[in-house]
Amino acid sequence: MTIRDTLFGDLALLERVVTTGGISAAAAALGTAKSSVSARIGALEAQVGARLLIRSSRGTRPTPAGERLLEAGRRLRAEAEAALAAARGDEGALAGTLRISCPVGMADAVLVPLLASFLAQHPALRLDIAATDRIVDPRQEGIDVAFRFGWLRGAELGLVARRIGTFEGVLCAAPAYLAGAGGSLRQVDDLGRHAWIGYAGFGGERQTLLLTDEGGKRHQVALTCRVRTSSAIQVRDWALAALGVTRLPLMLIEPQLAAGQLVRVLSHCRFDGPSLYAVYSRDRLRPARVQALLGHLQIRRAPREVEAGSPTAFSR
């Protein structure tokens, strides 16, 4: 098969279509005609001899053939960048774009300092950050490293995860909510009768919380969500609005606790706090910039690498 001169550009275009969610969005981002993008993708599919994209009302995603071609394209671009660096005589320098996704809010609190120090070491490197509370599959969306905050779930099966850090969790509520609900919580059994502000990462409308009291006894509390959201920031804001009791990482609510806007409940109990993970595809030909970032995180936070989906990957 003859390799067209435009292959590199076509592979980059295919990735742009997948990451933006469709041909129209890719055309708008590139400032070109939709017909031009469609024609180039059609020509690439004709050259491969297979469909590369599946279009539906929920967006555009790659077919299995498309996924294989996307992965190959990323490796080719990484090798090309390494060849350019070698030609310039700076084999040790990292260049190109590192694409990551992270939860909204956590980027500010945890990741920005880590990533800023990484960029300071590699001035030729660029970051493209998608801050979203949506669960992103790096294999389908052109993401090099996806950060997860909370507890790993089935969505990470087949990926690799590194635990960057574990954070202290706090049960809390607004004083106004507690006053309206009959005062502060004193017994674990009381918790199940209160309105619960749930994080979608912990389950559906019915959620379970495992608590250990001061005597070492374990309690399993069934909770019914009055509000459930995929954003940890919104969980905090709903708690401030006096809608119920919730659990949050201490780092997200320290100012509100200090100001008395939120108060701890059942402070004599403890539970496993959420963790921050770096999640990425298992690929022995991982680009050097991804390997460098993972190494940087390991030095800074001493993370532990686990196979996502294994029992050791879950903090429950």
- Contact between 94 and 122 under an 8 Å Cβ cutoff? The reply is yes
| CATH number of the domain that residue 121 is part of | 3.40.190.10
Q: By residue range, what is the domain housing residue 220?
A: 169-264
Q: Evaluate the CA torsion angle 231, 236, 240, 244 in order and state its sign.
A: positive
- 172 bridge partner residues: 246, 264
Counted domains in the chain: 3
The answer as to whether 270 is a domain residue is no
Name the token pair of 78: 């990484």
Q: Are residues 152 and 279 in the same domain?
A: yes
Residue at which a domain ends, from 59, 91, 123? 91
Report the predicted TM-score, pTM, of the whole model to 2 decimal places.
0.57
Residue at which a domain ends, from 66, 91, 116? 91
- Contact between 137 and 155 under an 8 Å Cβ cutoff? The reply is yes
Residue at which a domain ends, from 69, 91, 113? 91
Dist. CA 287–CA 76, nearest whole Å:
10
SS3 at position 240:
helix
Q: Are residues 158 and 178 in the same domain?
A: no
Which phi and psi angles does 269 have, rounded to 5°?
Answer: -105, 160
Q: Are residues 136 and 284 in the same domain?
A: yes
Q: Are residues 163 and 279 in the same domain?
A: yes
Q: Are residues 155 and 35 in the same domain?
A: no
Q: Evaluate the CA torsion angle 247, 249, 254, 256 in order and state its sign.
A: negative
Which phi and psi angles does 175 have, rounded to 5°?
Answer: -55, -35
- Contact between 284 and 127 under an 8 Å Cβ cutoff? The reply is no
Helices then strands, each counted (H, E), the chain = 12, 14
Q: Are residues 162 and 282 in the same domain?
A: yes
- Contact between 30 and 37 under an 8 Å Cβ cutoff? The reply is yes
Q: Are residues 124 and 189 in the same domain?
A: no
The answer as to whether 160 is a domain residue is yes
The answer as to whether 269 is a domain residue is no
| CATH number of the domain that residue 32 is part of | 1.10.10.10
**pLDDT tens over the chain, length 316 residues:** 556 667 778 888 888 888 788 888 888 888 888 888 889 988 888 888 888 888 877 778 888 888 888 877 777 776 676 666 656 655 456 777 888 888 876 666 678 888 888 898 888 888 888 888 777 777 777 788 888 876 666 545 667 888 877 778 889 999 999 998 876 677 888 888 899 999 877 778 888 888 888 888 888 888 989 999 888 889 999 999 999 999 988 888 999 999 999 999 988 888 776 778 888 877 655 677 888 888 888 766 544 444 444 333 333 2
Q: Are residues 101 and 185 in the same domain?
A: no
Instruction: Report the candidate in 242, 269, 238 with the shortest Cα–Cα distance to residue 168.
Output: 269
Q: Are residues 46 and 56 in the same domain?
A: yes
- Contact between 131 and 102 under an 8 Å Cβ cutoff? The reply is yes
Q: Are residues 107 and 86 in the same domain?
A: no
Q: Are residues 162 and 283 in the same domain?
A: yes
SS3 at position 259:
coil
The answer as to whether 107 is a domain residue is yes
Q: Are residues 207 and 232 in the same domain?
A: yes
The answer as to whether 72 is a domain residue is yes
The answer as to whether 59 is a domain residue is yes
